[in-house]
Amino acid sequence: MSVARLLSGVAGLAVVGVAGWLAPLVFDRDARSRLFGRGEEELGPQAPTADRLQAAATALEADGRVRRAEVNGAELPYRDQGQGPPLLLIHGHGGGWWAWDPLVDELAGSHRVVAYSRRGYLGAGALATAWEQHWMDAAALLDQLELTEVVVVAHSGGGTVAAELAVRRPDLLAGLVLIETPIYLRRNLTPEIVRALLALQVRRALLPDAQAIDVLYRRAAFARDDGTSGWDEIPDLDRFGVLHTATAALNDIDLTAFVEPLPPEELADISCPVVQLVGERSHPMFARNAGHLETIIPAARRIEVPDGDHGMLFSDPAGTAAAIRTEVADMIAA
């Protein structure tokens, strides 16, 4: 092959790549409106404007139920409620202790429930500089609270933290409940997810973090199997609180962008019971990913949550809590 032909091929790939990155923005009217500074009225009440984000953050940080724990040089906010077998709740890429609020109220009647904010999220100090800090923080928090035989319940990206905790500190855990966790999502990508991730990179270069990730949540993570989205149905305080943590969420995405935190051969060593909750209405990628994990973790089981989607913590806390209680009772009995 001649040098000229090789260079021509490289140039062609570059053009295709640039077009692929720019196309989502070109055809995304919402992102264009935000980019060109349209008024708040035109963007609508769902837009993550600075005043809405700050109002949510102020309200959440002033919550009097929150305690704080010094672990590994970070101060992590957490909520601790109830009596009984302990549960540790780990939020996903975006959110904090308060993302679990409805479930804490549902579960605290039969369990001691600890929900905390991961390092770098709202009220939890500086961003993580290495992914392993997250599972180390979770272990240190459990050690500080003198909790063992804990069932860890994790949502979305928090599932990777929970799985690594199960591998590194099996002495602490009685079981795992993973709610639509994207471990090894890259191995189960679909064209629409690839487009969404490419679009995210474009928006990150042009828009504030909260606005960039807002569209990813609406069109990918919280997309339903029928083409609708549950994202805008989440209560404003919760949704704008999640968006206020966009920089931490994007940092987590960056930390795991090119390296899988947990090799499959290590994940296969998890010895405690593992249950995956998948929403009946969720995007099919979550069911595919759950099936992939079942081929890696011998003891993993999958439970479908009727009418559930990726926002089941907010949209159906009673139903989600009921599913968790049933599975946790089986784990403890075993």
Q: Where are the domains of the chain?
A: 54-187+253-333
Phi/psi at 243 (5° precision): -65, -25
Assign 262 a pLDDT band (cuts: 50, 70, 90): confident
Handedness of CA 303, 258, 158, 62 (dihedral sign): negative
Whether 33 has a pLDDT exceeding 60, the answer reads no
Tell whether pTM > 0.85: yes
How many CA atoms within 13 Å lie on the side-chain side of 261?
Answer: 26
Q: What does the pLDDT look like over 300-317, one tens digit per residue? A: 999 999 889 999 998 889
Average pLDDT over residues 282-310: 90
Assign 323 a pLDDT band (cuts: 50, 70, 90): very high
Contact 268, 300 (CB under 8 A): no
Contacts with 322 (C-beta within 8 Å, 6 or more apart), sequence order: 106
Handedness of CA 113, 119, 121, 123 (dihedral sign): positive
CA–CA gap between residue 302 and residue 275 (Å, rounded): 6
Average pLDDT over residues 26-38: 50
Cα–Cα nearest to 98, from 56, 38, 40: 56
Whole-number pLDDT of residue 51? 92
CA distances for 57 relative to 50, 60, 108, 240, angstroms: 11, 5, 25, 8
Average pLDDT over residues 256-275: 86
Share of the chain above pLDDT 90, in %: 57
Assign 41 a pLDDT band (cuts: 50, 70, 90): very low
CA–CA gap between residue 96 and residue 77 (Å, rounded): 9
Q: What is the distance of C-alpha 183 from the center of its chain?
A: 11
Q: What does the pLDDT look like over 180-209, one tens digit per residue? A: 998 877 777 777 777 777 888 888 888 899
Assign 248 a pLDDT band (cuts: 50, 70, 90): very high
For residue 202, the tally of other CB atoms under 10 A from its CB is: 20
Q: What does the pLDDT look like over 109-150, one tens digit per residue? A: 999 999 999 999 988 889 999 999 999 999 999 999 999 999
Assign 87 a pLDDT band (cuts: 50, 70, 90): very high
Average pLDDT across the chain, whole number: 85
Q: What angle do CA 241, 242, 243 make, to 5 degrees?
A: 90
Whether 40 has a pLDDT exceeding 50, the answer reads no
Cα–Cα nearest to 24, from 212, 253, 235: 212
CA–CA gap between residue 19 and residue 192 (Å, rounded): 16
Whole-number pLDDT of residue 28? 54
Contact 99, 242 (CB under 8 A): yes
What tokens were used for 272?
Answer: 């405690």
**Most confident segment among 5-19, 82-96, 213-227:** 82-96
Options 3.40.50.1820, 3.30.590.20, 3.40.50.720, 1.10.490.10; CATH for 54-187+253-333 is 3.40.50.1820
Per DSSP bridges, beta strands 67-71 and 74-81 are: antiparallel
Looking at the DSSP bridge assignments, the partners of residue 71 are: 74
